[in-house]
Amino acid sequence: MEILSLDHILTGVRAENWQQAVEAAGQILVDHGSITPQYIENMIQAVYDMGPYMVLMPHFALAHAAPCDAVLRDDMSLVILEEPVVFGSPNDPVKVILCLACIDKESHMNSLTRVAEALMDETVFDALMKASTAEEAYEALNSFSI
Amino acid sequence: MEELTIQAVCGFGCGSSLLLRMKIDKVLKEEGITARTFCGDVATAAATPCDVIFCSEEIADRLIDRAKVPVITVVNFNNPDEVKEKVMGYIQSLEDKQ
């Protein structure tokens, strides 16, 4: 079973700042009909409100907001930036962003756990940092098995 | 001693706290420590019964005044040494008290 599908991954994404990077990650989910644009605003607002705590480890941010009406179904997307952006976190700069949308606090737990296990694997993450195409990123992510 | 309860906290209790909880679970398993771990959100975490809270520094800033239990911060959720040092540091502090 794939961890994340190819059409939910973008590489070489250009963003001038963290807001644009979060927008790019969220836009994938808008395009797939999983969230409305309001959710992108919520994710950005969450960083303004609570600081860049979503930058969980070096080079990586987990962009998300609270479950709400702007989420139409559980989904995740991944962007790899052309040039990293700064969030103001000790784990800056950020190059890889996982965008998480969940309809509630429970239903997405298994799928998020699987993506997280892969992302926190050093070999997988190094390959993602270097991926220049979505196919390469897809292969790296889905090559991981627990 | 009653079973230890550890709350991993993030902004909404459904994203980064899950990743932190996974790492804490891994340390506990490796060290053979039995504890119940669960996720919480910053708005309700301080009022949720538990023995200790783990979270990022940014979240800790918003919790520390309200929390009745120790709040322990983790900078890099994916650094097994850091998570282990902080979990075991807390466990050690409990043993020192006994």
Share of chain B above pLDDT 90, in %: 89
Q: CA–CA separation, B51 vs A106, rounded Å?
A: 23
Q: CA–CA separation, B4 vs A3, rounded Å?
A: 33
CB contact under 8 A, A102 and B11: no
A58-62, B12-16, B34-38: least confidently modelled range:
B12-16
Q: What is the pLDDT of residue A106?
A: 84
Question: Residue range B68-95: average pLDDT?
Answer: 95
Q: What is the pLDDT of residue B68?
A: 95
Please tell me the total count of domains within chain A. 1
Of A92, A94, A144, A91, nearest to A121 by C-alpha is A144
Q: What is the pLDDT of residue B14?
A: 87
Q: CA–CA separation, A65 vs B14, rounded Å?
A: 9
Q: State whether residue B56 sits within 8 Å of chain A by CB.
A: yes
Whether residue A146 lies inside any domain: the answer is: no
CATH of the domain at A85: 3.40.930.10
Q: State whether residue B78 sits within 8 Å of chain A by CB.
A: yes
CB nearest B11 (choices: A53, A91, A102): A53
Residues B51-65 pLDDT 10s: 999 999 999 999 999
Domains and CATH numbers, chain B: 4-97 (3.40.50.2300)
CB contact under 8 A, B78 and A56: yes
Q: Which residues of chain A have pLDDT under 50?
A: none
Q: What is the pLDDT of residue A69?
A: 96
Residue span of the structural domain in which A20 resides: 6-141
pLDDT of B1 over the 70 cut: no
Q: What is the pLDDT of residue A105?
A: 84
Which token pair is B10? 């993030």
Q: Which residues of chain B make contact with A104, given a CB cutoff of 8 A?
A: 14
> From the CB of residue A123, how many other CB atoms can be counted at a distance below 10 Å?
11
Whether the pTM exceeds 0.90: the reply is yes
Whether residue A1 lies inside any domain: the answer is: no
> From the CB of residue A29, how many other CB atoms can be counted at a distance below 10 Å?
24
Of A56, A63, A80, nearest to A137 by C-alpha is A80
CB contact under 8 A, B12 and A65: yes
Q: State whether residue B29 sits within 8 Å of chain A by CB.
A: no
Of A146, A138, A80, nearest to A110 by C-alpha is A146
